[in-house]
Amino acid sequence: MSRAARRAESLIRSVRALEHIIERKRGLEDALPRASAGLEARAGGVIHDTVAGTLRHLHQYERRLDAAAAAAAGDRAWRAVEDMPLRLLMASALFQCEHTPASAAHVVRSATEGCAQLGRAWAQAPIESVVRNAAAGRGFFSRAGAAERLSLPAWLHEDLVSNLGARRLDAFGPLLLQRPSRLHLAVASSAGSPSEYAARLSEGSGPAARLVAVERSRRKAAALRESLAGEGRAAVVCGDATRPEEWAAACGEGGASAVVLDAPCSASGILRTRPEAKVHQSRESVEALCETQQRLLRAAWSRLAPGGELLYTTCSLLRAENEEAVQRFAAEAPGATLAPLRPPRGALSRAQPQGVTFLPSEEHQGGFVALLRKGERGQGRGGRGGGDSSRRRDVFV
């Protein structure tokens, strides 16, 4: 296979992966192994970078492609940009033009060859014109709004500005378009690893300490079992965490003394490593997630022993999933109080009575953490403060 043919195949594999992610709402970790099957590591790496990078820039690329099509003569350009596989092909080509060593001429040639592989040979000429014009920019950035420059869907940009302020978003927003370094990937994986939670929860608790992990996905549950194989007192239950009847028996009659609830969320704080969240989420999906988070909190609280603590974490930057979620729960749950937390020194964060929001930076990704304490039997409903909640805790992520 010639080099040009390999480049064209790489683009087509990237397009297929993007279709899989967007249309089936799958994650990068699901689509990329399929896309790179049978390829050498280097070729697979090109596809990985192209798919992830295209997703990071997709909302911006779509506006640029629309502008380039509007400037082109004839209606074939519009027909091309309105065709989903061709639109993704052009977006992938734009990414390779701007973020890989390949020359624009070679990338454009590969994109036109890819049209035939997609069964759309008629689009070769308009695609060449549209991609070249879009790559040239033609004043796009001078006219683009903040959402387009940061490649964020309009709803998410509006909510982030409302939640965090335009100045904060301008400070970290450009980071969301950058390729994560290995440091970011390592931090992301270690911060949420079950073995890390096991060590923290068991520390100082004596030899009788046990860890119970509940995971709905069979694949992830299997990975958890492998990860916790060295933890002799750990159990993994494959079940729905919103339904305590599926896993409560593993906690024993007395309940758990500590709970770590890593809640499903919009992933708006980790868009560098989860760029697919920008095409998967919407205001409506966030509303549904908020209700799921409340069900998870209620279920976990039901198995938390009096005097116990619940650490609530998300990878979100949205108040509805963070401060508002825990405040709403604490106002309703018997004996619940929110304990103030102190972020690590040097972390880009915002500490509030309801918890700590971490903003994306060069050193870490974004997210939220809050600590809820359950009063001893007989104590009434809580809220902020109460009990010994003035005692501050260090947060390590």
**Which residue positions form the known binding site for S-adenosyl-L-methionine?**
215, 240, 262
384 within 8 A of 330, measured Cβ to Cβ = yes
DSSP assignment of 291-359 equals: HHHHHHHHHHHHTEEEEEEEEEEES---GGGTHHHHHHHHHHSTTEEEEPEEPPTT--EEEETTEEEEP
> Known binding site: residues?
215, 240, 262
Of the candidates 312, 307, 303, the one whose C-alpha atom is nearest the C-alpha of residue 375 is: 307
Tokens encoding 59: 């909302």
Backbone angles phi, psi at 305, to 5 degrees: -70, 150
Tokens encoding 257: 């003394």
Exactly one of 115, 238, 251, 315 is catalytic; which is it? 315
Is-catalytic flag, 315? yes
DSSP3 helix / strand / coil % (the chain, rounded to 5): 55, 15, 30
Give the alpha-carbon dihedral of 215, 218, 224, 227, to 10 degrees: 180
Task: With H, G, I as helix, E, B as strand and everything else as coil, classify residue 123.
Answer: helix
Residue 230 burial by Cβ neighbours in a 10 Å radius (0-12, 13-18, 19+): exposed
Q: Is the dihedral of CA 62, 64, 70, 74 positive or negative?
A: negative
The beta strand positions in the chain, using DSSP E, are 211-215, 234-238, 256-262, 304-314, 336-339, 341-342, 349-352, 355-358, 367-374, 383-384, 393-394
**C-alpha neighbours within 13 Å on the C-beta side of residue 83:** 20
Active site residues per annotation: 315
